[in-house]
Structure 1
Amino acid sequence: MLKKFFQAFRPPEQTALPDPDAELALGALLVRVAKADRDYQVEEISLIDKILSRLYQHNAIEAAKVRATCEKLHAAAPDTDTFGKLIRETTDLQERLAALEALWEVVLADGHFDEGEIKIVEEARIAMGLSFNDSQAARERVQARLEAR
């Protein structure tokens, strides 16, 4: 009985986070961008789930679970460029360009962007080995899709 009483005052044990792969690294970057303006909205959460579903063929529940893991990775995360380097080292050019486009999708989702969001995208772009022109083209593609809606 005393044991249960004292355990109530201990912090809960932390579950170990998985080692990030390219998917978790991108998810953590998406979460990082969405939280950069300190206003993590339901729409952004939903968008991240949709992006993870689209890029990695998850159903809605799987995507939400991956995003939840990515939120934890973001909170305990290494630098943005660590995630970007992991993506660069484990994916081909097309996947890296899709990742950059996904980052822009989150940045532009709410119609305005914060300097912190741009900084994260730029750090990730450099770490993924992509050019400024790649970033501009990705941004323009996302903007064109948003305007077409």
Structure 2
Amino acid sequence: MFGEFLKRLVADKPAKLPDADARLALAALLVRIAKSDGDYAVVEKDQIENILSRRYNLLNVEAEDLRVAAEQLEKEAPDTVRFTRAIKEAVDLEDRTAIIESLWELALADGERDKEEDGLLRLVAPLLGINDVDSALARQRVEARLS
């Protein structure tokens, strides 16, 4: 279903993603983070939809449709390293910083720092070109909002 999209995304020199594709790529990365602990709960699905709705000014049904499409893309996407590096090449730094913040928001939504989610975020941040300090600052901004 997403064959052409994935080919473009993991090409040697991926082009900047159109907005709709960038949305889908972020949503798929959110799904991958949520599934990383082996428990893809309804609360995480709701949180993904909330993040997508806020970030892209979507109606609830649009955010749900995007999440469902992202679940399918996440199943078909290559390993996290290649998938994340492809997003890095195709998405501007400012947007990647916002992506890390969204990923932390999802990981911390249940009030706990799960080892698997935390470890995946520690892998994903540098692959997106975000250093540890900026990732930690993003996490702290999210923690401040959630408290």
User: Considering the TM-score relative to the shorter chain, is it more than 0.5?
Assistant: yes
What do the CA deviations read for 1:30-55 (whole angstroms, capped 9, x no partner)?
Answer: 11111112221211111101111122
- Aligned-pair identity in percent equals 45
Distance 1:93 1:114 in 2: 26
Aligned ranges for residues 65-80 of structure 1 at < 5 Å? 65-80=65-80
Does residue 95 (structure 1) correspond to residue 98 (structure 2)? The answer is no
Match for 1:115: what amino acid?
K
Match of 1:145 in 2: 145
Matching of residues 80-119 of structure 1 within 5 Å? 80-119=80-119
Scaled by the length of structure 1, the TM-score of the pair is 0.81
Q: Partner of 1:9 in structure 2? A: none
Shift of 1:17: 2.4
Q: Say whether the 8 Å CA contact 2:93–2:129 is kept in structure 1.
A: no
Q: 2:125 & 2:71 partners in 1: Cα distance?
A: 20
Q: Which protein is bigger by CA-based radius of gyration?
A: 1
Counterpart of 2:47 in structure 1: which amino acid? L
Q: Residue 11 of structure 2 aligns with which residue?
A: none
Q: Which runs of 5+ in 2 are unaligned?
A: 7-20
State the shift of 1:125 in Å. 0.8
Going from structure 1 to structure 2, the CA distance change for 1:93 and 1:133 (only over 3 Å counts) comes to same
Q: Is the 8 A contact 1:22 1:86 kept in 2?
A: no
Paired position in structure 2 for 1:44: 44
2:18 aligned partner: none
Q: Any unmatched runs of 5+ in structure 1? A: 1-15
Which sits farther off after the overlay, 127-136 or 17-26? Answer: 17-26
**What residue identity is the alignment partner of 1:134?**
D
Q: Which runs of 4+ in 1 moved over 6 A?
A: none
TM-superposed deviation, 1:57: 2.2
Contact between 1:105 and 1:142, CA under 8 Å: does it hold in 2? yes
State the shift of 1:132 in Å: 0.3
- The CA distance in 1 between the partners of 2:74 and 2:22, in whole Å, is 14
SS of match in other structure, 2:111: coil
Give 1:74 shift. Answer: 1.4
Equivalence for 1:53? 53
Conserved in 1, the CA contact under 8 Å of 2:25 and 2:87?
yes
Question: Which position in structure 2 is the counterpart of 1:17?
Answer: 2
